[in-house]
């Protein structure tokens, strides 16, 4: 009798995604991981097996292929992957503005959803707990989950208010998941600065799936 092959636990990729694609905080950890890879194999795994790229143009092109968005001021790609456990993921960040906007976009095709999940709640779990999929390090003071329009669909959105750890600036965080034409779209948006709430709302409203 043949034993069934072990299944990959859902969201087992959370820590890798946090390390590799976590914006400012994640890049610091990623840098340390690359150093550690001199005696290990983490860098090869990240850049070869997980297709992680630190090329700004690659991140910008991939982000634009997933969603239309409008980030105030100039922007730059931070990190991306065209095949991160089957998903496309890209992180963008504003530059030369009073408010720092960091936007992580993800797109999961049907074939990859066995590892990621199939319901919005599965994906919102990626943003919580010790292995949080955070685009920056935010000390959250309050949080609520609501339904909101995204990509002409009803999306599950977590809205949080808090403080950015490094700069101590007030911050607003949107974490959203929507299913459209069998694809799962994820967006993690953080805005820190004097106009954080207004800017975050404007950027979120500009998101449109492609």
**pLDDT tens per residue, range 32-55:** 444 444 344 545 455 555 677 889
At 6-20, the pLDDT tens digits run: 333 333 334 344 444
CATH number for the domain harbouring residue 113: 3.40.1000
Looking only at Cα atoms, what is the longest distance across the chain?
A: 64
Mean pLDDT (the chain, rounded)? 75
Domain annotation covers residue 190 = yes
Mean pLDDT to the nearest integer, 151-176: 90
Give domain status of residue 81, yes or no.
yes
Average pLDDT over residues 177-189: 89
Provide, rounded to the nearest whole percent, the portion of the chain with pLDDT above 70.
66
Residue 40 falls within a domain, yes or no? yes
b vs e for 115-151, b when ≥16 Cβ sit within 10 Å of the residue's Cβ?
A: bbbeebeebbbbbeeebbbbbbbbeeeeeeeeebebb
pLDDT grade for 120, boundaries at 50, 70 and 90: low
Rounded distance between C-alpha atoms, residue 71 and residue 67, angstroms: 12
CB 200 within 8 A of CB 172: yes
Q: Where are the alpha helices (DSSP H) in the chain?
A: 14-21, 23-36, 42-44, 56-66, 113-116, 120-124, 196-206
Indicate whether 41 belongs to any domain: yes
Question: Which range scores top for mean pLDDT: 27-41, 47-61, 82-96?
Answer: 82-96
pTM metric for this prediction: 0.76
Q: How far apart are CA 74 and CA 81, in angstroms?
A: 22
Its domain, for residue 56, covers 14-209
């Amino acid at each position: 009798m043949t034993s069934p092959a072990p299944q990959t636990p859902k969201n087992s990729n959370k820590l890798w995604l946090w390390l590799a694609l976590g914006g400012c905080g994640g890049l610091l950890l990623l840098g340390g991981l690359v150093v550690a890879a001199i005696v290990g194999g983490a860098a090869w795994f990240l850049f070869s097996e997980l297709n992680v790229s630190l090329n700004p143009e690659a991140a910008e092109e991939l982000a634009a292929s997933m969603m239309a968005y409008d980030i105030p001021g100039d922007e730059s790609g931070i990190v991306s992957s065209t095949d991160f456990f089957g998903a496309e993921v890209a992180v963008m960040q504003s530059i030369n503005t009073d408010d720092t906007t960091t936007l992580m976009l993800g797109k999961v095709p049907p074939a990859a959803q066995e590892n990621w999940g199939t319901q919005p709640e599965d994906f919102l779990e990626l943003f919580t707990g010790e292995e949080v999929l955070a685009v920056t390090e935010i000390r959250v003071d309050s949080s609520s989950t609501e339904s909101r329009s995204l990509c002409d669909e009803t999306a599950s959105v977590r809205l949080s208010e808090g403080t950015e750890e490094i700069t101590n600036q007030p911050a607003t965080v949107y974490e959203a998941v929507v299913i459209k034409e069998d694809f799962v779209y994820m967006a993690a948006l953080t805005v820190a600065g004097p106009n954080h709430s207004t800017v975050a709302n404007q950027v979120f409203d500009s998101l449109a799936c492609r």
